[in-house]
Amino acid sequence: MSGLLLRLAGPLQSWGERSVFTPVRDTAAFPTRSALIGMFAAAQGIGRGDGGLDRYQDVRLTVRVDRPGVRLVDYHTVGGGFPKARTAATSGGGNKGAAVVTRRHYLADAVFVVAVRAPDDTVEQLAQALRRPHWAPYLGRRSCAPDEPFLLRSHIDDPERELRTAVPLSRTSSRQEEGDTIAVEFLHEQPPRDGAADAIDINDVPVSFAQEGRTHIGRRLYRTVEPVHRDLAGPQHTLLTRLIDYAHAEGSA
């Protein structure tokens, strides 16, 4: 087993937990497993109806919440002001005859770093695909493009340890925080050994991405707040340089 590290950052992100056809298109407070597996499958050229999601069952994800972001709601309309024949289609083959109104939720200015652990051959395939994706990755919705650097490291023996000790933290430390560490939130798929975690149940494990038969099942996450050394935050104006240096260090090692 080995792993890779992804940094999910951008002006907007949206990690939906419910059907895309509901009037309110929500977002989870963190990247969902469904969205990340979908990102991997898209990078590898696996279509929605192709199946083959069993290949990701051994993938384990740990999320570090650098910045939770600010929730925004976009009042969104589709098909308003057009003749009925040019309005949104219905499932029965007709047209709605009016604008479709949705309220779409986003996280603004959020940053997450994801440790992806999997068998070595899976990590190698994912790393190659994420470097040269068949379909471009996005942060939950196609309009939400990721910042660079995106793939921070591609071959790491202990990616979770890197989250705690090495990956630059995209956050400035608060003046109220004293000492050498900063409290940072983590989300784990496995319970911590000491049992000190809050359990979160979420229905985001993809069984099928087929357009007419999307199916998900539930999983349990474990939320912890852990100390990260203040040096990982560093001066905010040097963050991009430190991230690029960290990403490039793998190639020069």
Q: pLDDT tens for residues 114-128?
A: 999 999 999 999 999
Mean pLDDT for the chain overall: 88
| 223 or 208, greater pLDDT | 223
**What percentage of the chain has pLDDT greater than the value 90?**
61
pTM of the model: 0.89
Measured over the CA atoms of residue 223, residue 227, residue 228 and residue 233, the dihedral's sign is positive
Which carries the bigger pLDDT value, residue 72 or residue 49? 72
Reported confidence tier of residue 51, pLDDT bands at 50, 70, 90: confident
- 192: amino acid identity, one letter: P
Binned at pLDDT 50, 70 and 90, residue 83 comes out as confident
Nearest-5° angle of CA 161, CA 181, CA 179? Answer: 155
What band does 15 get if pLDDT is binned at 50, 70 and 90?
A: very high
> How confident is the model over 39-50, as a mean pLDDT?
90
Q: Is the pLDDT of residue 196 over 80?
A: yes
In sequence order, what are the residues at sequence separation of 6 or more whose Cβ sits closer than 8 angstroms to the Cβ of residue 134? 42, 43, 44, 45
pLDDT per residue as tens digits for the range 93-105: 777 777 778 888 9
Q: For the beta carbon of residue 202, count every other beta carbon within 10 angstroms.
A: 17
The closest alpha carbon to 17, from 31, 7, 8, 27, belongs to 27
**Tokens at residue 153, please?**
């490291």
Q: Report how far residue 67's alpha carbon sits from residue 175's, in angstroms, rounded to the nearest whole number.
A: 16
Could you give the CA distance from residue 238 to residue 163 in angstroms, rounded to a whole number? 19
Q: Which of 15-24, 42-51, 107-116, 243-252 has the highest mean pLDDT?
A: 107-116
Predicted local distance difference test score (pLDDT) of residue 20: 59
What's the whole-number mean pLDDT along residues 160-169? 95
Helix (H) or strand (E) holding 186: strand 181-188
